[in-house]
Chains A and B, each alone.
Chain A
Amino acid sequence: MLKLNDVYFNYHNDTPRELQVLRGVSLSLGEGEYISLVGNNGSGKSTLAKIICGLLKPSEGTVIWSSEESNRLIPGHRTRVGLILQNPDNQIFSGTVEEDVAFGLENLQTPLVEMKRKVEDTLRSLHLWDKKDHPTHLLSGGEKQKLAIASIVVMEPECLILDEATVSLDYRSKEQVLETIMFLKKTKRVAIIQITSSIDEVISSERVILLDKGKILYDDQVSSFLKDSEIMDLIGFDMPAYVSISQELIGRGLIKEVCYTREELADRLLWEYQYRT
């Protein structure tokens, strides 16, 4: 769906303050993929996100969208990539929920009938419909971030990037956002890139890309990432509790495979128990 070829990026290009942030990033992204982008502060994650969105142009290298897909797009009637930032307050422009979701479509000059339908569909599918006339400044943090996502989703992006979008949210709101992401991935085949420093969020994704000083140092399945303690150490991730517990259990011969979530571990133990008795 999307390919980055050897992308370089400098801030303040061709000035004495030139700062090289991306140094030869290549990656490809498929429909409905769910990726975690991790890396230390200043490694260039946000910059990469802006490159993918087209907010910044690479100093060198190319960003290519697969061509057959671009044919079915009506130019100007949707965005390809949506970007969600950390603070939802800075991404909401209107007084009510419904108006804010419509904001992007208004900019794309969507005809009224179509706009109404899309706004309603989006709000209903994200369970925000009964809040449509709610003043935006009275929503909870999680609801605000969900609204920010809804406002992007209504524009039918192929890819959604969340730049530390859940950092300021409490546990329940994080769950809400995660549910929303999973829903989009499954029903709309939206590719998700989440920039995160939380191991719990990494576990829910499928693939991990580790950016280090502007280079991709690691790009593999989540399951292999979680077993790689060297890489995990590099960015200061702790081994998630269920992984270390299951490694301990493997060591004692109780189970045979690493489990990543509570449910998985419980199921595995139950299965072993029933199998043995």
Chain B
Amino acid sequence: MTSPFRTAEGGRIDRATTLEFTFDGQTHTGHPGDTLASALLAAGRHQVATSIKLGPPRGIAAAWAEDPGGLVQIEEPFPEPMLLATTVELHDGLVAHGLPGQGRLAEISDSARYDAVHHHVDVLVVGAGPAGLAAALTAARSGARVALVDDQSEAGGSLLSGTDRLDGGPALEWVAAAVAELAGHPEVLHLQRTTAFGSYDDGFVLALERRTDHLGTAAPKHVSRQRVWRLRARSVVVATGAHERPVVFSDNDRPGTMLAGAARTFLHRYGVLPGRQAVVFTTNDSAYDAALDLHRAGVRVQAVVDARPAGSPRREECERAGIRVLSGAVVTGTQGVERITHARVAAFADGEVGAVSAIACDVLLVSGGWNPAVHLFSQARGRLRYDEALGAFLPAEELDGLSVTGAAAGVFDLAGCLTDGQRVARAALTALAVPPPGEDRLPTAPEPVAPAAPLVLWRVPDTSGAGGHTSFVDLQRDATVADIERAVGAGLRSIEHIKRYTTIGTAHDQGKTSGVLTSGITAELLGVPVQATGTTTFRPPYTPVAFAALAGRDRGRLFDPERVTSLHDWHVAAGAVFEDVGQWKRPRHYPRPGEDMEAAVLRECAAARTGVGLLDGSTLGKIDVQGPDAAVLLDRLYTNLMSSLKVGSVRYGVMCGVDGMVIDDGTVLRLAEDRFLLLTTTGGAAKVLDWMEEWAQTEWPDLRVHCTSVTEQWNTFPVVGPRSRDVIGAVFPQVDVANEAFPFMTWRDATLDGVPVRLARISFSGELAFEVYVNPWYGVAVWERLLEAGRPYGITPYGTETMHVLRAEKGYPIIGQDTDGTVTPHDLGMAWAVSKKKPDFVGKRSFARQANQDPLRKQLVGLLPVDRRTVLPEGSQIVELHADGQLPPPPVPMLGHVTSSYRSAELARPFALALVKGGRSRIGDTVHVPVDGTLVPVEVTGSVLVDPEGARRDG
């Protein structure tokens, strides 16, 4: 329960409040402002987990998202795998345990809310460190619309981890004033706990805001847990700082080994000492700050081991404090069991390692230099260049609308970051033609002390005898220098190949510490410049993002819109079983108690063929085509002639692509000389409207015609069967329903209690049928009138399955089920629907192509299983036996496939439709369909199996 490594004072934590949490079954305490990692370190615990492949302990190695080690599984408040202890904000009741690289998804569903917000700004600044704050202030002061996002819980960036001073006071006072000033600008959106994780085209940046995670069980339920910000900025300023990188040496994975900058963060931000006895190993001046700060905080700094032969001008400062500085020396390895006990140190000159001695320590701080966080720049396809002096990759070009500033651009001193942030913002404003602000003061920063040049050192030669097998490059993947050597030895040269061969950089941290190390070590092994090796591609997301957050509100019923007709509630009450047709919910059948689908469909089919049935066909696509040239457009797009259609009449039509293949079919009602109503398939409605508008706009802009979808404006109820005339006659007594007065393929306007209703004699079943069209507001009322009037005849509502059986018995194809984009009207036996009079229409020229004349094209035919029992599975292949009754040797030629297959009440046997090579010439033949391993003999027939003369339909 104690926190022996907590400092007596300081840090950004709320010491007045104590939080209790459980890690690996042990109870610990911490404070608001802690991360799980800082609270564990305060308790003296470095080890978080064990390695995924090799098993040794692994600990906290960094202070934020670059940590390759400290993976945890959260159990409470909600199970969540693969989070970093360094990025989990502490809250009361947190229960977590360490993970050896693999987590466990929750078995209960996530009840938290996730959402997304679109936001447009002039300038987006990513990162609220000194450069980002300076840039945001300049942009805000100009009056521009600004967003500032930062992934930490509070603004300040690197200033949170140090003791910098600005305007003569603590730098964080300036940060607080800057944040307050930004809050006063109404056009500024400032988000903390918000990670910009992807940068895309045209200033599009995705950012994840963690809104309630830090509140734990106290999180209000009505607030979304995480929010994806879809930011679109005219100008993006990337001020994302830099990641410190380690130097690779033997046994560098031992807990207690940590980046030097991370130790400063734990000290200054969280009030935590990473240990009692430290060794600091560095290649550059920045780690001297860690050594001196820890010394002042009471840590015994045993030695600063500086790989540079000339050391640092800061040596004196250390020696005055009593810290030993070993210049021209390196750490070659570590000792200890679960935690480091000694750093192994040796002289280092000209790449040669001298005699090793061990220095006792419980924490080893390492700095191999800084990698600018160029991720967002690189994701936006910015080119990088390798800087020899820094040993790091920097932006190599200016991008339109995206600039990089501060440490991300290789500027590492505070004064430089402030002026660079301001400069970049002013340039961005100028590019946007926004006048930069007149009053735009920067705080005064101390004169920077020029650092001594860093040494670029990727790895210390392995003198341990382990041959590089314990020199870890990517701790999370257990990938070592030996693995890179093996990759290079196997002939790999490309850094992308080496990444995949070794898996370096593929873990949760995506190579934040290991990526550039791998480039450097690979270049050394290949003997080429690091610039030639380059980096692997930076891809979003910068840090892991939960699928739940990406899905946002688009889950469950909101995943895809559901379309229902005005009859939906009636269908539900009637016990309909629904099927999805595109986004529509359509009743498939209406089972009575005890009926399965087969029984229900046989009953519904029999009712429609012998009495009367009623279908909700409202999902049929409907397009209102108006204008003086409406008939011209239809003549050019349908294969048959539409201009000759009389007002009051209906015609079936087929549309083809320019390749002559059927794309949709349906009926056309001529409403007036200059107005048609087109009925399309349910699934083809949007496509047909697109198709018509494309031709009207791009090829024939001279045509005076407009097309409008009216699918949702009309309910359509087919009343089907020999008694349909009685039903329509009873409901619409003013309409003469006699065949002579109201023949097949005509329509009539009627009214029902003053409500306009359109009646059409259209049949998709082959039966005598009427379609009733009405405004959906009156849909239920009209439907119920039809049912009422049909009661004496046993009127039966039927669903799509019965509709399919009825139409298939008549050989009416469903475009997209019985066709597949390679089928012409002729293949469907619909030469009658192809005009010979019209000089041209879309698709006509292709009918004359040789391939379209091939007598062996697949044609639509009927199939009757000889056993009168088997329902052929749709999609089954069709084969032909040799004369001797044997199958041809493999590969067995395929004649075609079954496209529709049902049991027929009318025929009292199953039947099918199929596309068969030269099908019409095979009528009367017997072919075979393999079903469950046996060959079922089937007779090839014409496609129309019921009432081929059409006597019922026309009667």
A joins B in a complex: no
